[in-house]
Every structure is written in C-alpha cells, then in structure tokens.
Structure 1
Amino acid sequence: MKEFENQFSELQADMISICMEYVEDRANKVYVYASREEGIISSSFFYLINNTYVEPHKVNEALGTGDQKYDTSPKRQSMVLRILCEDIEKVEALCEEYERDMPTEMKLIYDVKSGNFKAEYKYDLVYTNDDIKTADHIADEWFEKVKKNKL
C-alpha cells in the first residue's frame, strides 16, 4: 500500500519538477493538468509568475525589467509535454500493477514559496463523452478559471 503511494507521489513530483526546470525554478506556482481517458493521454501546464498567470509560451511576458528571459522554444515545450505524458503512462502502469483505479484527470498545483502541493483527481470521463470538448479544452478552461479566481 505504502509502496504504491510513494511511487505515485514520486511521479507527481517529477511532473512538477520538469515544469519547474522549464522556468529555471523561477515561478511562484506551477499548475499541471494530466489526463488519461479512453486511450488518450494529454497534458498541459502553466504558471503564476510575478502575480501573472501565464501559459508556457508566454512566461517571458510575466518577467520584470532586467529579469533574465526564459527559453520558450517549441523544442523545450515539447520536451516538457513529452515527459509529462511519459509520467502519465507510468502512473497508469503503476495503477495497473497495484490494481488501483487510474485517474482520468489530475490537476496538480505546487506553491513554490510555501512548498504546498495540492492535487485533485477525477475518475469519471471528463471529455471523451462530449461531442465537442477535448482534453485541451478542459485544460484551457482550468487555466481561465484559475486566472479569474486567482486560485
């Protein structure tokens, strides 16, 4: 039991870690969206930097004057997303190994200053039973909700 939870936590920590690496550990909060539904794996991430909520390709817009710019090349963004998706696959394998339900959705929030980590999980279908929405729609809606409500 404890072994499953340790490994599950390690994989979530790895997801946060790769997102922190993308911004060279310079963020106030990190948000990771991870989805595994009906054979579809999807992930997304965004940040709170200097009181501004930003998606990965716009992190430099949150910097103050004189702050060193982040490398936001598509190659680096793809690398982060690839690692997030690999971690989701590892979570799935772990859940299978320990005969646990695989979350269809994980929303991870890491507050860098306080060290607080929060995770929300869903086990029901979120978008595959919707005619229009995809995992990207759900991730974008979460970003807009967080931005609006400053969560």
Structure 2
Amino acid sequence: MKEFEDIFSELQADMISICMEYVEDRADKVFVYASCEESMISSSFFYLINNKYVEPHKLNDALKSEEEIFDVSTERQFMVLNIIGDDIEKIEELCKEYERDMPTEMKLIYDVKTGNFKASYKYDLVYTHDDIKTADDIADEWFEEIKNNNY
C-alpha cells in the first residue's frame, strides 16, 4: 500500500511532468510555485532555458535562432495551471486523510540535466494576512529572486 510520502511525491512529480510537457522537455530547469491558503489555490511556473530565466509566455525569448519555437498559447498555459491546481487539491485531500499539515507554500525546483529535485515548504500564512500581496505577487518575487541570484 502506498504511504503518504509516496503519494505526496507522485503529485509533486506530476506538477513537474506537466511543466516539462509544456516546454517539450527543452528546459534546463523547471520551477513550480504552488500555494494553498485558507482554501485559495494558486500556482505558477517558470524555466531556465539557454541560461535565461523565462516565464511560460516568454519561452521563445530564450531560444537560439535555429531552435524551433514553442506554442505558448494561453490555452496551453491554463491547461498546465489547471493540472497543477488539481494536484494541489489532491495534496490537500491527502494531508486531511493522513492528518498532516498542508503546506501553505511549495517551491519545487527540478534540474533536468542532473535529475536533481528540490522542494521547500512553508506552513505559515504567506499572503492571506497581507492587505496588499497576493499569491501571484509572492510567485513573481520568487521568479525575480531566482533570476537575480542565477540559481
């Protein structure tokens, strides 16, 4: 029988997998931000391609001239976000079922070349207690932080 950790890991792997599908397996690193606070679910994702950090709608900005362009249609982006959202909901159900704390924030980093996977979690409220910031603001801050530090 599968244990909590196995199912939790599979759901995280699914988030990475759908992001890899979106980028046609042509990224060096994948970054996924997943948030669940007070029943508000939010997510975002971005990539490192050819030494450039790019958000999903700007994938083609990172390509070299000879590389085939990506389909960055809004429909495809929403498809990815919907699947990540479903995975977050499944993690929430899993945590309830096993009586575990649900992370309010998950930051997932997958290094395609090495196969290295890193995840960090927060369990405190990150933005719902803030009058101004939203989950999107937090995700944008993480993107800038990673980009500026050349993670």
TM-score interval, normalised by the smaller of the two chains: over 0.9
Q: Give the partner amino acid of 1:82.
A: N
Q: Give the partner amino acid of 2:81.
A: L
**1-structure distance, mates of 2:132, 2:2:** 39
**1-structure distance, mates of 2:100, 2:69:** 42
1:45 equivalent in structure 2: 45
Offset of residue 76 of structure 1 = 0.2
User: Which string of whole-angstrom CA distances, capped at 9 and with x for unpartnered residues, describes residues 18-38 of structure 1?
Assistant: 000000000000000000001
2:18 equivalent in structure 1: 18
Matches within 5 A, 1:41-120: 41-120=41-120
User: Identity percentage over the alignment?
Assistant: 75
**1-structure distance, mates of 2:2, 2:15:** 20
2:121 equivalent in structure 1: 121
1:35 equivalent in structure 2: 35
Return the TM-score normalized by structure 1.
Answer: 0.98
User: Which string of whole-angstrom CA distances, capped at 9 and with x for unpartnered residues, describes residues 119-147 of structure 1?
Assistant: 00000000000000000000000000000
Q: Give the partner amino acid of 1:62.
A: A
User: Which string of whole-angstrom CA distances, capped at 9 and with x for unpartnered residues, describes residues 64-83 of structure 1?
Assistant: 01101111000000000000
2:149 equivalent in structure 1: 149
**2-structure distance, mates of 1:93, 1:150:** 35
**1-structure distance, mates of 2:128, 2:100:** 21
Q: Give the partner amino acid of 1:85.
A: G
2:139 equivalent in structure 1: 139
* Count of residues paired in the alignment: 151
Secondary structure at the residue paired with 1:67?
coil
Offset of residue 2 of structure 1 = 6.5
Q: Give the partner amino acid of 1:35.
A: S
Q: Give the partner amino acid of 1:99.
A: E
**2-structure distance, mates of 1:48, 1:94:** 31
The runs of 4+ residues in structure 1 deviating greater than 2 Å are: none
